[in-house]
Structure 1
Amino acid sequence: MAPSRAYPPDLTEAETGSLLSTIKDWSVAHGLTVRPPVSLVAAEADPHGVLATTVPVTLFPSPFPRSCFEQGKSISKAYNSLYAAIAQDEEFLKGIVQELLEVDDFIAELWQVHLKVKEEGYAQKLSLGIFRSDYMVHQSSPENLPTIKQVEFNTIAASFGGLSSQTSNLHRYLAQSDYKYLENGIQQSEVDLPQNTSTQSIAAGLRFAYGAYTEAEKTTYDPCVLFLVQSPERNIFDQRHLEYELREKNIPAFRLPFSEVLARTSVADTPKRQLLYHLPSNSSKIFEVAVVYFRAGYGPEDYSNESAWKGRLQIERSNAIKCPSVLTQLAGAKKVQQVLATPTSASESAILQRFIKPSAVASEVKSLEDTFTNIYPLDDSPAGLEARKIALDEEKCKGYVLKPQREGGGNNTYRSAIPPFLKSLPESHWKSYILMEIISPPPVQNMILRNGNVEKGGVICELGIYGTCLWNQDTKEIISNEEAGYLLRTKGDQSEEGGVAAGFGSMDSVRLV
C-alpha cells in the first residue's frame, strides 16, 4: 500500500512552518473551519462567538487503495436502496424496536412519534435520505489484498459533507503550490486526488427534494429548506457550505435551533398540514417548509424536555419532506446493522433478500455482504449468548468494540474495557448493545494539524461515502438515487474514536495508490 519512497516525507522545521502557514491561511479563506473549542479559546475570551479556527486536518492526503475506494463508491446506490427499503418496512423496524423498548428510552420515544403520526395519517409520502456509509480498509495479512469493511451506516445528520470537498481542494492546492518545493519534493503528478463533490452533491439531493415538493404542491407561501441545528454549534461552517450552495440556486434556506421548533414553526390547519416557518427577524414573513434537514435530533441530549419531543412530533406530522423521517432514523440503529451482518447458517436465507429486488439479489447481496464485518447481538439468542462469552473473556474481547444505538461519536467501548463496562450495567441492558469485530487496517503515516499543534505518526483512516435518495414511502418507488462524494477522517492509531467535532479525528482526503 505504501509508495516506493517515504510518504509523507520528513519535514524540516522551516518546511513545517511554511506548510502550516499555507494551510491555516487557505483554510480560513475558504471556510475549512470550526468554532474553536474552549480548550483553545476560553468562552470569556470570545463572548460574542466571532472566532473560527482551522478544522483539524492532515498536512498530506493519506494513501488509500484505489480498489477499496472504487469498491465503496460502486455500492453506494445499493446501500441507498437497501436503507430506503428498510425505512419502508414498518414490521421489520417494529421487531427491532420491540427488542430495545425496555432498555433504550430514546428508541422507544422515536417509535412513539411514528405511532402517533401513523394514527393521524402521514401527510407526506416522500422521504429524503442523506446517507453516509463509513468503511475502514481491512487487510488481515500483508499477503492478502485489502478490502473495505463497514463501520456503520448513518441515516441522520451525516456530517462533514460541506468540509470534505474543501479538504480535497486544500490538498489539491498544496500539491500545486507547496509539496513540490520540499527538500524531498512530491510532484503534482504523484498525488492522485479523486474529485470530491460532496458539497455540491448533497446540496443537489436537498434541491431535488425541494423541487419534488414545489412541483407537487401549490404553496401559499414562498417555499424553503429548513436546517434544524444544535445551538451552540461548533461545526457550523460545514453546514453553511450546504446552505450557501442552495442559496446560489435561489432556494431560501434557514437555520433553526432544534430547541426552537415550537416557537418558530406551526402546522397549518388544513388537510395538507403544511409546515410554516415564521422568520425571527421579520414576524410578518412566513415560509412554507418544503424540506426539513436534521443536523440535530440524533441523540437524547437534544431532547432535554417534553417540548423537544413535541417539536419532533410537529415536524413529523407535517407535510414537509423530512430528511430523515423517524422511520429512516430508526433504520440507522446499530441493531439494524447487526441483524444485517450477523453470520447465518447455510440453511438460512440472508436477511438482505427481504429488502432487495429479486432481480438484483445475486449481485447486490454479494457486493453488500462483502463489506460486512462480523457483528453480534448481546441478547438471549444463541448468537447473543456466544457473544456475551466473547465480550466477557479478557483475551477474546481484545478483538472487539461494543456499540450502543447512538450517533455522533464518542459512545463506543473498546477491547479490554468491554468486560468491566458490561459488568457495571444491569444484564437486562446488555441487549441494547452490539458487539462488532474490530477491523485491521494496514499501517499509514501522516501528520495532523490540530489546534495549532502538529501530531506525527501512525494513523487510521475511515472512508465515508455519501449518498442521497428520495423515495415514496407508500408506493416504494425510488425517485432519485445518487452517490454524493466522500469523506476521509483520520485519527492517530492510538485513538479509538474518530469523531472530528468530538475532538478525536481530523479531516483528510484520499491519495489513490
Structure 2
Amino acid sequence: MGLSAGCAEVSYPPDIDDAERERLVQTIKDWGIAHGLAVRPPPAVIASDADPQGILATNAPVTLFPSPFPKSSFEEAKAVQTAYNKLYADVSRDEAFLGQIVQEVSGDDFISQLWHVHQRVKAEGYVQKLSLGLFRSDYMVHQDSTDPTKAPQIKQVEFNTIASSFGGLSSKTCELHRFLASTEYPQLKQSNANHGYDLPENDSAKGLAAGIKAAHDAYGDSALGHQRCVLFLVQGGERNVFDQRHLEYALQSLSPGLLVFRLPFAEILQRTSIAQTDRRQLLYKSPTNPDKVFEVSVVYLRAGYGPGDYPTPADWDARYQIERSNAIKCPTVLTQLAGAKKVQQVLATPVTQSQPSELHRFVPDDSGASKQIRNTFTHIYPLDDSEAGQQARKLALDPKECLKYVLKPQREGGGNNYYKAKIPAHLNSVPEESWKSYILMELITPPPVANIILRNGSLEQGGVICELGIYGTCVWDQGTGDVVHNAEAGYLLRTKGDQSEEGGVAAGFGCMDSCTLV
C-alpha cells in the first residue's frame, strides 16, 4: 500500500541509505529507552546468568515508520467498540449461554476448570455485582483479491477479554512516530519522504487507566476503614513489565494517592485474605509492610489467562479466592469465558446456516449496533458434529482447501494457532472428540504493505501484515445489566513480516507500530 502525495503515489517506506538507517536506528533506540518503549531482554539476547539482578531493559521491537492504514477501516473499528463492549458485557451475564459454550468445548480442560470456579462461587453466592472489562478487539483489513477496486473492509480476528496488553507501549509507539515525523523524516534525502503523515492521536494507557479508575470509584469507600488499593496480578519474571507500568502510572496520574500493587499470581494465597464479613472484602498485605492491611477495590489480571499460570491445585484455589471476594474483577471468570473463540464463532455464524447466529440474543437484529458488528465478522466455522461442523472438518482436512484457513483453540497469548498446511496434521494428532474445542477461521487477505522492523538491534525490511486492536473499557452491573461506564480507549497496531503466521509481540512474532491513515 503506497501513500498519496497530491495525485502521485509515493513508494513506501521511503528509500533510505545506510547513513540514514543508522541515524534513525540510533534515534529510535535512545528515544525508546528514554520514554519506556522497552521490554526486559529475552534470554536469546541476554542470558539470565548475565543479568542476575534483572536490571537490564532493551528496546521493544518497532517499525522505523508508521504503517499506512485505510482511514475508513480505522474509523469503522473505533466506532463499533462501545457496541462490542456492551455485547461482551451482556454475554458475560448470560450464564445459560456460556454454560452451553463450555459444554460444546468440553474437551478443553482449562475452560472446564474456569467454569468450575464460577460454579463454586455461585454455590455460596456472589457478593460483588460490578464487573470491569478492559477489552481489545483485533482486526485486519481484508482486500478482495478478485476485485482490487473494491474498498477494503475491516474484519475481526478476535476479541480479548483478559490481559489485553500493549496499551502502554502502543501509546509510546505513536509518540515515537510523531516525534520522528517532526524531527527525522523531514531530513531524509528521498523526494517526498516527508509527505504529510496522518497520525491519529492515541492515549491508550490513559484510556485503559480511566476504566480502572471508573471501577475503583464505583467500588466505594471501605466499610472496614482500610485504605483502598488496586492489585495488578502478574506473571513471575514478566518481560513486558514496562507496558503494564505505563497503565499503573497513568492510573496514579488520574487518581493521585491511589496505591497500585503488583502481585505475582503464584503469591495470591500468601499475600491476600478474605475478610470474615458478609461482603467478603479482599485484603492485601504488602511484603514490605505486612502489618498494614489494604482493601482491594479492583483486581486487574495480567496473568491467569492460560493453563501455564495454574501448575498446581493451589493456583486454582487462588483464582477462586479472588473470584469469591468483593473486589471488582477485570475480568471475572464469566467475562474471561466470554472471550473464548467458540463464543466468537457462535456469534459470527450467519443466520442462513443450519446453526443460526446467537448475536440476536444480545443485540436486536434491526439495530444499528447489530449492523456495525456484523460488518466486522469474517467466516468462522465450528468443528463439532453439526452440519456446519462436518463441512468445516472436510475443509480443514483437505490438503488444498485448508490453505485458506487458520485453526484456533480456546487460548489467549499468541503462538497457539495452526495455519494452512499444518491444520490436517494437527487434527490427526489429537483425538477426534477434542476437535469441537477448536474453531476454523477463514484467513483474512490484507492489502500489500511494506515497512522496516527494528528488532534486537537488527533491521528487517519487506512486506508486512498489520493487525489493528481497538481498546475498550466497560463497567457494568452483572445482575441488572446497567452500564456504569462504556468507552473506546485508544488503539494498538502490531505488525509482522508477511511470511510470519503468528502476530504476538510478547511471543516474539510481531512488533509495535502505529497508523498513518490513507
TM-score (norm 2): 0.97
CA distance in 2, matches of 1:474, 1:363: 25
For residue 188 of structure 1, report the CA deviation from its aligned partner. 5.8
Q: In the aligned structure 2, how far is the partner of 1:347 from the partner of 1:399? A: 22
CA distance in 2 between counterparts of 1:35 and 1:347 reads 49
Aligned to 2:75, which of 70, 76, 87?
A: 70
Give the match for residue 393 of structure 1. Answer: 398
Q: Using the alignment, how far apart are the partners of 1:346 and 1:246 within structure 2?
A: 46
Cα deviation for residue 143 of structure 1 reads 1.3
Give deviations 1:249-298, integer Å, cap 9, x for gaps. Answer: 22110100000000000000100000001011011111100000000000
Q: Is the 8 A contact 2:231 2:296 kept in 1?
A: yes
Q: Quick one: distance in 2 between partners of 1:125 and 1:283?
A: 29
Q: 1:10 aligns to what?
A: 15
- The equivalent residue for 1:138 is 142
Residue 122 of structure 2 corresponds to residue 118 of structure 1: yes
For 1:239 and 1:317, locate their aligned partners in 2 and report how far apart those are by CA, in whole Å.
25
Does the 8 A contact of 2:300 with 2:330 survive in 1? Answer: yes
Aligned to 2:273: 266
C-alpha displacement of 1:342: 1.9
Q: Distance in 1 between the 2:453 and 2:337 partners?
A: 35
Equivalence for 2:416? 411
Q: Which amino acid counterpart does residue 225 of structure 1 have in structure 2?
A: V
Is 1:168–2:174 an aligned residue pair?
A: yes
- Residue aligning to 1:200: 206
- Bigger shift: 434-443 or 239-248? 239-248
| 1:21 maps onto 2:26 in alignment | yes
1:505 matched to 2:510: yes
The equivalent position to 1:290 in structure 2, one of 297, 308, 333, is: 297
Establish whether residue 434 from structure 1 lines up as the match of residue 439 from structure 2. Answer: yes
- Counterpart in the other structure of 1:467: 472
> 1:368 deviation in Å?
0.6
Q: 1:348 to 1:47 in 2, by over 3 A?
A: closer
- The aligned residue for residue 477 of structure 1 is 482
* Local SS of the residue matching 1:431: helix
**Would you say the 8 A contact 2:354–2:387 is kept in 1?**
no
- Contact (CA 8 Å) 1:97, 1:111: kept in 2 or not? yes
1:45 to 50, 68, 74: 50
Secondary structure in 2 matching 1:290: strand
1:239 to 244, 258, 267: 244
Matches of 1:17 and 1:258, distance apart in 2: 41
Q: Determine helix, strand or coil for the equivalent of 1:340.
A: helix
Distance in structure 2 (CA, Å) of the matches to 1:316 and 1:283: 23
CA distance in 2, matches of 1:222, 1:361: 47
The secondary structure found in structure 2 opposite 1:190 is coil
Cα–Cα, structure 1 residues 336 and 322, in superposed 2: closer, same or farther, change >3 Å?
same
Counterpart AA for 1:391:
A
| 1:321-356 alpha-carbon deviations (Å, 9 max, x no partner) | 000000000000000001011223179864211112
SS at match of 1:339: helix
Residues 463-492 of structure 1, C-alpha deviation per residue, up to 9 Å, x if partnerless?
A: 000000000000110111000000000000
Q: Which of 221, 224, 229 is the equivalent residue of 1:224? A: 229
Residue 176 of structure 1 contacts residue 188 of structure 1 at CA under 8 Å; is this kept in 2? no
**Structure 2 CA distance for aligned equivalents of residues 380 and 187 of structure 1:** 55
Which digits, 9 at most, give the CA deviation of each residue in 1:194-220, with x for residues without a partner? 0001000000100110000125x5342
> What secondary structure sits across from 2:421 in the alignment?
helix
Counterpart contact for 2:162–2:301, Cα < 8 Å? yes
2:218 — aligned with what? 212
State, as a whole percentage, how many aligned pairs show the same letter. 62
Within 1, Cα distance between the matches of 2:285 and 2:314? 18
Range with greater deviation from structure 2 (468-477 or 184-193): 184-193
**What corresponds to 1:279 in structure 2?**
286
2:262 matched to 1:255?
Answer: yes
Gaps of 5+ in 1: none
Deviations 1:439-477 (A, max 9, x none): 000000000000000000000000000000000000110
Whole-Å Cα distance in 2 between the matches of residues 203 and 112 of structure 1? 30
Deviation at 1:182, TM superposition (A): 0.6
1:382 aligns with 2:390: no
Give the letter for the 2:207 counterpart.
S
Partners of 1:362 and 1:320 lie apart in 2 by: 34
Residue 324 (str. 1) matches residue 355 (str. 2): no
1:123 aligned partner, one-letter code: V
Aligned with 1:86 (options 85, 91, 108): 91
- TM-aligned CA distance change 1:29 to 1:429, over 3 Å: same
Aligned to 1:367: 372
Contact 2:274/2:325 (8 A) holds in 1: yes
Residue-by-residue CA offset, 1:8-56 (whole Å, 9 max, x unaligned): 1111110000000100000000000000111111111111111000000
The answer to whether the 8 Å contact 2:66/2:516 transfers is yes
3-state SS of 2:479 partner: coil
Task: Measure the CA separation in 2 of the matches of 1:348 and 1:501.
Answer: 36
- Once the two structures are TM-superposed, the CA of residue 366 in structure 1 deviates from its matched residue by 1.2
Distance 1:447 1:489 in 2: 13
Q: Describe the superposition over 1:75-99 as per-residue Cα deviations: whole angstroms up to 9, x where unpaired.
A: 0000000000000000000000011
Contact 1:175–1:186, Cα closer than 8 Å, also in 2: no
Find the aligned partners of 1:188 and 1:334 in 2 and give their Cα distance. Answer: 42
Report the AA paired with residue 394 of structure 2.
K
Q: Tell me the secondary structure at the aligned position of residue 220 of structure 2.
A: helix
Structure 2's unaligned 5+ residue stretches are 4-8
Q: Deviation of residue 425 (structure 1)?
A: 0.8
Alignment correspondent of 2:314: 307
Q: Secondary structure of 2:261's match?
A: strand
Amino acid at match of 1:138: H
- Normalising by structure 1, we get a TM-score of 0.98
SS of the residue corresponding to residue 175 of structure 2 reads: helix
**Alignment deviations for residues 410-430 of structure 1 (CA, whole Å, 9 cap, x no partner):** 000000110111111111111
Q: Determine the structure 1 residue equivalent to 2:6.
A: none
CA contact (8 A) 1:73 1:465 kept: yes
TM-superposed deviation, 1:244: 1.1
Counterpart Cα distance in 1 of 2:175 and 2:159: 26
Q: Check conservation: 1:175, 1:187, Cα contact below 8 A.
A: no
